[in-house]
Amino acid sequence: DLFKEYPYPCFRLYRDRIRQHDDNIRNQQKEEKLRDDFQQMVQRENFIKLLDELEESGKLHAESLWRTLYPEIAEDERYKALLGSTGSSALDLFMLRVEELKQRVLEEKNQIQSAFETKGFKVTTSTTAEEFLEALNGCDGIDEISAINMKFIFEDLHREAEVEEQHAKRVEVRQHREKLFNFILENKDKLTSAMTPDELESVLLPIEGFKSFRDALDEKNFHRVHKKVLSTLKRNEEKQKEEEEEHETDKHKRRKSRKHRHSDSSGDNSDVDEEREKKKKKKKTHKKKHHKRSRSRRHSSSHKHHRDRYDRHSKKSKRSSRSRSRSPHSPVSSAYSPSASSGEE
C-alpha cells in the first residue's frame, strides 16, 4: 500500500539500501584482502627469518643453490605456510638473497683489494690463506666480513692470479715460438719441406743459438713450430715454382711476339713491293696511253692541216675558174693567160 501511495520515495529508499549493501560488501572484501596481504607479508617475513638463520649457520651463501638447500627448507613450517601465496614465492626470495650475498662479496672484495694496494701486497698463486689473513691485519672494516665470504674472496683472488700467470706463460711461450721460427727461417737454405722434427733438430743443432731456443719449448710447442716452418717452406717453393713458370711463359710469349713482328715486317715489305710494282705498271700504262693520245692528236692535227690546205686550194681553183668563165675576152686575162705567155716565148 505504501508503495502504491508513495512509489518514488519507496524507490529512493530501496536504491539507498542497495547502495549501502554494496558498500558493505566492498568494505568487507577490502578488509579480507588487507588481512590476506598482511598474513602473506608475515609469512614472507617468517621465511626471510629462515633464510637469515641459514645464512648465520653458513649454509646459505653467495654460491648456494636452491636444489641443495631445498630438502632442509621444505621441512620447515614457514616454507609450507608460504605455499599458495599470490606474492613473491619462496624461490624468488631465495634468489634475491643469493644476489644480495654476491653483491656483498663483491663490495668486500673491492675493499680488501684497496687495502692490499695501500700495503703493496698482491695475491699470487703461491700465496697461502695464512699469508692472506696476516696481510689483512689492521685493516679497517675487515672484522665485519664473514668467514665464508673471506674464503670466497681469497679463492677468487687466487683464481685471478692463476689466470694472469697462465696468460703470462702463454705470452712467453708464444714469444719463444716466434723467436725459434724466425731463427729457423734465417737458416732455411739448409732445410727442405719434407723434414721430420728430429731431422730438423739434427740439422739445426750445430748452429749456435738453436739449443737455447729449443730448450725454452716443450715437444708440443716445438712440433707446432716445425709444422709452421714446413708450411712456410712449401709456400715458398710453390711461389718460386710459379714465378719460374711465369718467367718461362713470358719468355715464350716474347719469342712468339718477335716472330710475329718479323713475319709482319716481311709481309709489310712484300706488300710495299707489290704496291710499288702496281704503281710502276700504272705509270707505264699511263705513259702509253698518253703517248697514244699525243700521236692521235698529232695525226688528227696534220690531217686537219692537209685538209684545210686542200680546202683552201680547191676554193682558190673554184674562184679562178669562175673568174675565167665570167670574162673570157678581156685584155687583161688574155695577156696573163698561159697561152699568151707561151706564144711570146
- Alpha carbons 316 and 188: distance in angstroms, whole number: 124
Per the listing, cell 505504501 goes with 2
The pLDDT averaged over each successive group of 10 residues in the chain (345 residues) is 73 86 89 87 92 92 93 92 86 94 93 89 90 85 86 92 92 91 86 84 84 86 88 86 83 73 54 64 59 53 58 62 50 40 36
3-class state of residue 89 by DSSP: coil
Contact 213, 172 (CB under 8 A): no
Query: Residue 124 — left, alpha, or beta (φ > 0 → left; ψ -120 to 50 → alpha)?
Result: beta
Q: What is the pLDDT of residue 93?
A: 94
- Alpha carbons 343 and 265: distance in angstroms, whole number: 95
Q: What is the pLDDT of residue 198?
A: 87
Q: Give whole-number Cα distances, 30 to 26, 27, 88, 256, 284, in Å.
A: 6, 5, 20, 106, 136
Contact 160, 204 (CB under 8 A): no
C-alpha cell at 43: 609469512
Sequence letter at residue 135: A
Q: What is the pLDDT of residue 84?
A: 83
311-340 in b/e form (b: 16+ CB < 10 A) is: eeeeeeeeeeeeeeeeeeeeeeeeeeeeee
Q: What is the pLDDT of residue 184?
A: 87
Separation of first and last alpha carbons in the chain: 209
- Alpha carbons 118 and 111: distance in angstroms, whole number: 11
